[in-house]
Amino acid sequence: MPARPSATALDPAIAARLKRNADGLFPAIAQQYDTGEVLMLGWMDDEALHRTLTTGRATYFSRSRREYWAKGDTSGHVQHVRSVALDCDGDTVLVKVDQVGAACHTGDRTCFDAGELAPALPAASEPSRDERSPRTADGH
């Protein structure tokens, strides 16, 4: 369980909408605000989200170090927050940022440039609008 302050300052209306895992965490996807490039995935709890919303710097919770970290504190590769959105299920946030330098701990611009994985199914032609299945009950 994250070592949180005794009381978070996160707006209760926002906190009520969040769905957290057993450790009180939820994933946060960092995306470059102007290009749409997906940069990384980090973990947040209520306090990390509060810090992100109030400081303008993307702040995460390190599961391995069990502490908060603002992106760029040690590397200089800062994420300046442009917007934060909660997904439809309330279990993931999208943090649109202006990334300074590399987003990945390896020094790469993004954590998602290690190569695409080939799909297991052969490529099919795009179904016509009438053939597309409607959204399921869970919205997906």
- Feature table: binding site for Mg(2+): 87, 89, 91
Integer Cα distance of 140 and 24 in angstroms: 24
Binding residues: 87-89, 91, 104, 111
Binding residues for Zn(2+): 88, 104, 111
Strand extents, DSSP E, 1-140: 26-32, 38-44, 59-62, 67-70, 79-86, 93-99
Query: Tell me, what amino acid is at 138?
Result: D
Integer Cα distance of 129 and 127 in angstroms: 6
Integer Cα distance of 128 and 100 in angstroms: 41
45, 4 in Cβ contact below 8 A? Answer: yes
